Amino acid sequence: MTLSDKWFTEIHADIGSAFSLETTEKVFSKQSPFQLVEVFNTTGFGKFMVIDGCTMVTTRENFVYHEMLSHPAMFTHPNPQHVAIIGGGDCGTLREVLRHDSVEKCTQIDIDEVVTEASEIHFPELCESNNDPRAELLFIDGIQWMKDAAPESLDLIIVDSTDPVGPGEVLFTAEFFAACHRALRPDGIIVQQSESPLAHLELIQRMHKNYATAGFSASKTLCFPQPIYPTGWWSATMASKSGDLSNFRQADVENKSFDTQYYNAGIHQGALAMPEFLRKALA
Amino acid sequence: MTLSDKWFTEIHADIGSAFSLETTEKVFSKQSPFQLVEVFNTTGFGKFMVIDGCTMVTTRENFVYHEMLSHPAMFTHPNPQHVAIIGGGDCGTLREVLRHDSVEKCTQIDIDEVVTEASEIHFPELCESNNDPRAELLFIDGIQWMKDAAPESLDLIIVDSTDPVGPGEVLFTAEFFAACHRALRPDGIIVQQSESPLAHLELIQRMHKNYATAGFSASKTLCFPQPIYPTGWWSATMASKSGDLSNFRQADVENKSFDTQYYNAGIHQGALAMPEFLRKALA
């Protein structure tokens, strides 16, 4: 079976698999100073954003990723008021964070304004909180921003980044985590996308070590489906300056004032339960 | 990006996606009276079985599917002694069932002996319990076998089938479920693979209706990752003649005498918590 030119294919060379979506037309294409940002219409997944040939986000299934990168950490923190998102230019994570009434300010720092430009046109539902008075969108280097952040000024940091290769690599280091640790308040939490538990176990192990090196007291990995990324199975790894991350504001989840499509209290509890091979690898 | 001839691709036409694995050679190919069974070596997933062009099982990730199709139902039943597997010719589900000391007999009924032949050669680890004295392997029509089964003779039925198209379609009907209901003891349970929650929600809804029509008192859908199937996200749906399926023998899971790679008590509990969209769809 071969795929016609209408199919966009991303090869995951390290694991010898590939994922393809059937497109009908390219509706956005812009070379920014940093990367090539494209958006396609697809036959089954709605709009589909591609950056430098890598699948990023589709209309159909982004809800799982955006909800799982935000709500578990938000409902673990006792009272998240000041939140920073590193990356996240499609603005879907920003939207989820701003659903929480406790938030006074959420700053999204993505180096590439073209990603947000593409999202505002083709994923308007993800951008519906961009004009919320609590939202601040900065298009500068997030690593430098974090180094410059006032100490103990943030409750939650969400690293909604690309893969740990090229410019994204430093976001997975103990040095960057130390800058985050410094910027967080004493009960602060960081959460970061941490690739596939099946394909990138060593990276997840390294992240836990680097969080400890940076001074975080506890860390946990949550797994969830991610249909368009390698292995269809993804993770986020949280770390806290204090507290053990096992508990969350369950009553607040059950009484939350907004709807979700994936996340709920049972899903949160379930995501805290690691698959046996992951539990052993992180023991 | 196009894929060379070395890649095996399965197109999921209904959702406009495709999944590919990089193969190095074909090591098995046999046309049975029912279907074409092939096995490939791959660069990243070990051995890879394909039936009539559809991805079936790989060495690397089959543990999730086989464990989740067997252990949640096995540990929900109070004392599963007599088990039947409809389909399951790769024998991986049989192996998981026979890890349970309570089992006195497990009958696997797959119409096509060639699937088991291919598995015995290329997935020997899945077939390691084929010679267990408690195992019975039959290569006949599983639907007829179930119709002919003695009433109230089984504790657990596992339907480890292909997709609900062609010959597999009848396995998802109320008529087949009624035959299963008749063959189960009063506290009996059936569990069946039930496709992707993201792509096949209507099928899952129909299965719950058909279980109720067939006389089952409760049914539940469990979700889990499935890297090589459409959307990378899969499900199994259980139904019971009595009891509500919310509870399981948690202490027995925590003290089980065998190792697992995916399943544990937390994973079981987590799989019972449905994603919000699925919970609403089944409410």
Indicate the helix (H) or strand (E) that contains A26: strand A17-31
Contacts of A58 in chain B (CB under 8 A): none
How does pLDDT run across B4-31, given as a tens digit for each residue?
889 999 999 999 999 999 999 999 999 9
| Dihedral sign from CA coordinates of B13, B30, B235, A123 | negative
Percent of chain B with pLDDT over 70: 100
**Does A163 or A153 have the greater pLDDT score?**
A153
- Rounded-to-10 torsion of CA A251, A254, A255, A259: 150
Percent of chain A with pLDDT over 90: 94
Cα–Cα dist A59/A24, whole Å: 15
- Class of the A7-58 domain? mainly beta
Evaluate if residue B1 carries a pLDDT over 70.
no
pTM: 0.97
Interface of A with B in 75-134 (CB under 8 A): none
Evaluate if residue A5 carries a pLDDT over 90.
no
CB B249 within 8 A of CB B75: yes
Q: Flag the least confident range among A162-171, A194-203, B100-109, B235-244.
A: A162-171
Chain B residue with the nearest C-alpha to that of A254? B276
Residue B68: per-residue pLDDT: 98
* The two domains A7-58 and A62-282 share their CATH topology (first three levels equal): no
Q: Give backbone dihedrals phi and psi of A234, rounded to 5 degrees, phi first.
A: -135, 175
Residue A1: per-residue pLDDT: 63
Domain locations along chain B: 7-58, 62-282
The per-residue pLDDT of chain A, averaged, comes to 96
Q: Which residues of B are catalytic?
A: 160
Contacts of A3 in chain B (CB under 8 A): 2-3, 9, 11, 18
Residue A241: per-residue pLDDT: 97
Catalytic entry in A160, A187, A244, A259: A160
Burial environment of residue B1 by CB neighbours within 10 A (0 to 12, 13 to 18, 19 or more): exposed
A252: confidence class by pLDDT, cuts 50, 70, 90: very high
Cα–Cα dist B200/A77, whole Å: 35
| Mean pLDDT across B57-81 | 98
The 10 Å CB-count burial string (b at 16+, else e) for B3-20 is: beeebbbbbbeebbbbbb
**Which residue in the set A44, A227, A262 is minimally distant from B275, CB to CB?**
A262
Q: Which fold has domain A62-282?
A: Rossmann fold (3.40.50)
The per-residue pLDDT of chain B, averaged, comes to 96
CB A54 within 8 A of CB B2: no
DSSP A283: -
How does pLDDT run across A60-77, given as a tens digit for each residue?
999 999 999 999 999 999
A261: confidence class by pLDDT, cuts 50, 70, 90: very high
Residue A167: per-residue pLDDT: 76
The 10 Å CB-count burial string (b at 16+, else e) for B31-59 is: ebeebebbbbbbbbbbbbbbbeeebbbbb
Residue B47: per-residue pLDDT: 98
How does pLDDT run across A30-62, given as a tens digit for each residue?
999 999 999 999 999 999 999 999 999 999 999
Q: How far is B42 from chain A (nearest CA, A)?
A: 7
Evaluate if residue B60 carries a pLDDT over 80.
yes
How does pLDDT run across B116-154, given as a tens digit for each residue?
999 999 999 999 999 999 999 999 999 999 999 999 999
Count residue pairs from A and B with Cβ separation < 8 A: 164
| Mean pLDDT across B69-92 | 98
Does the beta carbon of B222 lie under 8 angstroms from any beta carbon of chain A? Answer: no
| Mean pLDDT across A90-103 | 98
Cα–Cα dist B194/B191, whole Å: 9
Q: How far is A197 from chain B (nearest CA, A)?
A: 11
A3: confidence class by pLDDT, cuts 50, 70, 90: confident
